[in-house]
Amino acid sequence: MHPAFSVIFFTVSSGAGFGLFALLVLADLLGMGGGLSTDQKMTAGVVALFLISAGLSSSVFHLANPKNAWRAVTRYRTSWLSREGVFAIAFFPFAIAYLGLTWLSWDDYNWLKVLMGIVAAVIAWITIFSTGMIYACLKTIRQWNSPLVPANYLALGHFLGALLLLAVASSGGVALDGYVTLAIVWLVAAAALKAIYYFWIANPGATSTIKTATGFTRGTVRLLDTGHTHGTFLTQEFGFSIARKFSLILKMFVFIAAFVIPAVLLLTAQASQDGLYLVTVVAILGVVAERWLFFAEARHVVNLYHGAQHT
Amino acid sequence: MRLGLVIDLDVCVGCHACAIACKEWNASGTTAPLTDYQPYGAEPSGVWFNRIRSYEVGDYPNNKTINFPMSCMHCEDADCVTVCPTGASYKRAEDGIVLVDQTKCMGCNYCSWACPYGARELDRESGTMKKCTLCIDRIYDTVMPVEERQPACVLTCPAHARMFGDMDDANSAVSVVIRERGGYQLMPELGYNPTNHYLPVRKATPISTDNMGKIGFKDRLKGIANKIVKR
């Protein structure tokens, strides 16, 4: 599959934003590390909303005909893309109400703030899950058609969210141990799920072959002529493939940047504030590479008609 | 009613006439225009509803070239319809034809991701998804003579490799030929239940190329004469 940068940016940015917001609400409810200050909560909340909005905007601008984008919320009963949009929009009023009540600090309305926060967090989880399901529901792409995909989206979104929350918490006033532990727990979960995914797609089981695609089951089937002189929409959108050697190097980069370097810095010496910012940036780069590979390694069955023997 | 095509792979000669006729008709049809990019340039490309590919099946000397036209299969369980977030992609209840409403499509490509047959192509000019309409503006046109109320690809095929009809009617020509010739669907394992069917290539005895027997006396004389006489 052709890895479109707008989609990569959208999934990484909004995933991290939703993860950050959900974890912020949890940290606030539990009063982790003595409780974040109002300023810190506002900072984390605004960063989360910014990441989500930037991601959603990016996803709209990659459309070939964005003037019809508003219609994308109308088919929530069947389409995961539509559900993603509906939940992403439904998230905002609750999130803004939670942040507004946090800023106003009305003690009488604490219950309302908690309620708004919990609803926003639940919608955030559903939204990341829906983003994953956009890809996981496609039977045409074996490498995506797995429950591992939404699990990976949830884990990586929360991992980046936990790092961002830690970076915000490091500005002082709270004990960081809980936040460091939270980040490490999500790091381990995300790394484990990603490792399982990478082992799984090395051999994802029975797939469509040139024989089921053409019905020529009697002998070997080879493409003689694609019937077009230059690329078509199909070859441009689905023809992208990545060499195994290059994908292995990128997978190593994903693990080193997203998991190994952050793990070392989180576990060793109490990282400075600048160090935590650096860890977050390195991890985001790792996850961007992960997302690029997620698209680049996916093999659409239509490639069978363009010479692939199996997908 | 479940309208669709049956394509006889034994008969198709790979002339691309169906693709050309399709382009010609639909360039001014309901989803028009079908943009061409650099039609006379270095890298000509464009939007087509029909693609004809050729495959070699089997190994020499039992090999055979099979021309393989593909367009929208108008699947019964069409994922391109269910994944569409705007409702632009829809399947007509009355005849099973899958269409794209050009006024609703936002060009997200999601339907093309869901389609295993490569039936959908984005028109970069209009920013909308284009696909085979089964010539809906021909087959229901009461002004045309009855025999011309068929998709352009079916009408034009010089080898008569394409048939059009109602798969739900057990006595229609397409249903009969599917039954009698063992018509099959592509990638049945994905469960899309495509309406279009393909008729397999008939088994033929390959013409032997070895054991041709010894060259006779007359041919040997001719050979000698050909070596001596320069013509």
Question: Hey, of B12, B13, B15, B56, which one would you mutate to test binding to chain A, going by the most A CBs within 10 A of its CB?
Answer: B56
Question: Residue with structure tokens 């007359």?
Answer: B218
Task: Average the pLDDT over B112-140 and give the result.
Answer: 95
Nearest to A267 by CA among A192, A193, A184, A191: A184
Pinpoint the alpha helices (H) of A240-300. 244-254, 261-267, 273-296
Q: For position A241, what pLDDT does the model report?
A: 87
Per-residue model confidence as pLDDT tens digits over B134-161: 999 999 999 999 999 999 999 999 999 9
**Which residue do the tokens 């010739």 mark?**
B181
ipTM for the predicted complex comes to: 0.92
3-state SS, residue A138: coil
Which residues in chain A have their CB less than 8 angstroms from residue B46's CB? 232
Task: Tell me the C-alpha to C-alpha distance, in Å, between residue A124 and each of A14, A128, A134, B199.
Answer: 10, 6, 16, 50
Asked if residue A21 lies in contact with residue A95, where contact means CB atoms within 8 angstroms, the answer is yes
Q: In chain B, which residue's Cα lies nearest the Cα of A233?
A: B121
Q: What is the pLDDT of residue B197?
A: 97
- The verdict on A233 touching B (C-beta cutoff 8 Å) is yes
Note whether A141 contacts B: Cβ–Cβ < 8 A: yes
Q: Which residues of chain A have pLDDT under 50?
A: none
Q: What CA–CA distances, in Å, run from A228 to A90, A304, B161?
A: 45, 16, 21
What's chain A's average pLDDT? Answer: 93
The closest alpha carbon to B109, from B89, B91, B92, belongs to B89
CB nearest A301 (choices: B86, B104, B187): B187
Specify the long-range contacts of residues B137-146, CB closer than 8 Å, at least 24 apart: B137/B29, B137/B30, B138/B25, B139/B3, B139/B164
Q: How confident is the model at residue B211 (pLDDT cuts 50, 70, 90)?
A: low
pLDDT in tens, B148-197: 999 999 999 999 999 999 999 999 999 999 999 999 999 999 999 999 99
Q: Which of A131, A138, A140, A310 best tests the B interface by mutation, with the highest count of B CBs <10 A?
A: A140
Take residue A52 and report the two structure tokens written for it.
């989500």
Given A225, A226, A302, which is nearest B116 (Cβ)?
A302
Q: For residue A274, what pLDDT is reported? A: 82
Residue spans of beta strands (DSSP E) within chain B? 3-8, 36-37, 45-46, 51-57, 64-70, 89-91, 98-100, 120-123, 128-131, 162-166, 197-199
Query: Do B103 and B8 contact (CB within 8 A), yes or no?
Result: no
pLDDT value for B63: 87
Q: Could you say which of A81, A134, A227 has the minimum Cβ distance to residue B51?
A: A227
Q: What CA–CA distance (Å, rounded) separates A13 from A131?
A: 12
Q: Write down the pLDDT at residue A271.
A: 64
* pLDDT for the residue A148: 97
By C-alpha distance, which of B31, B68, B66 is closest to B48? B31
Contact (CB<8Å) A232/B121: yes
User: Sheet containing B162-166: which strands, arranged edge to edge?
Assistant: B162-166, B3-8, B197-199
Q: What is the pLDDT of residue A86?
A: 96
By Cβ distance, the residue of A65, A224, A231 closest to B127 is A65
pLDDT digits 0-9 by tens, A43-89: 999 999 999 999 999 998 889 999 999 999 999 999 999 999 999 99
Which of B8, B12, B113 is the best residue to mutate to test the A interface, defined by the most A CB atoms within 10 Å of its own CB? B113
Q: How confident is the model over B15-37, as a mean pLDDT?
A: 93
